[in-house]
Amino acid sequence: MSKQNQWVVGVNAVASAIENDAGHVREVLVETGTRNPRLIEIEEQARRRGIEVRRVSAQALDGIGGNVRHQGVAARYAPARTWSEHELPGLVEAAGGRALLLVLDGVQDPHNLGACLRSAAAAGATAVVIPKDKSAPVNATVRKTSAGAADRVPVVTVTNLARTLRDLKKQGVWVYGLTGEVDPSLYDLDLAGNVALVLGGEAEGLRRLTREQCDALVRIPMAGDVESLNVSVAAGICLFEALRQRG
C-alpha cells in the first residue's frame, strides 16, 4: 500500500474517527473562522485526545475532500501496516493448527470491508485475505468503519486468490465457500482447526475459480423469503460460529 496520506472528511466521519480510532488519527484540520458548534466540539475532543489540530482555509479543505463535502473538517490517518502474501504461511503456522482466516473475494464497498474487519478482530481471526484487484483498499474509510480493527488484524493482499487458496490447502487449511445456492449448512462443518471461510463480493458472489478451490460450499440457513445477507453480516455469523466451536 502507498504511504500517502489517508483522509476522512465531514462532520460525522471525523467525529467517529476521533471517538473510535483516535490512536491512528494524526491531525485534524478545521476551517478557519468557523462558528459551527459541531466543529468546535470536534476540535476540543481532538485536543483532549492529544491529536494535533490546525485551522486552514476552506480552499485547502476543498483540495482534500475532492467530490465529498468536507463540511469544514478533515482528519488525517497514519498509513496502515501492510502484509504481503509471502507472510501468510507464517501467520498460519504461528496459529498452531487453529488458524481462522476470512477470505473476501471482491468486497468493493469500503464500509462492508471495514465491518468485516471489525468482526474478524472481535472473533480473533488470524488474518483477512483480500485480492489486490476488485477489492476495496484498506483506506481511511475502511479503517474508520472498522473502529481500529484494520490495525489489529493482519490484512493480507494477494495477487491471485485461487492460487492462494490452493497453497493454503497444501498447508493443511480447510477452505469453505459461502453461497446460498447449495444445501449443506455452515452449522454442519467442523471449524475448530485450520479453516478459511470464503465469502464473495456484493455483486457477483464467489467467482468460478474461487469456488473451484473450495473444499466445500455451504450456506447460512435462513427463515423467510430473504435470498441473501449483507456480506459483513454473513462474515460475522461465520466467524462467530467458528469461535463458538473453539470454545
Summarize the annotated binding site for S-adenosyl-L-methionine as residue ranges: 200, 220, 229
Quick one: which H or E segment has residue 90? helix 88-94
CA distances for 66 relative to 70, 74, 110, 111, 165, angstroms: 8, 12, 17, 19, 38
Beta-carbon count within 10 A of 110 CB: 20
Task: List residues forming the annotated binding site.
Answer: 200, 220, 229
CA-derived radius of gyration, the chain: 20
CA pair distance 131, 5, nearest whole angstrom: 22
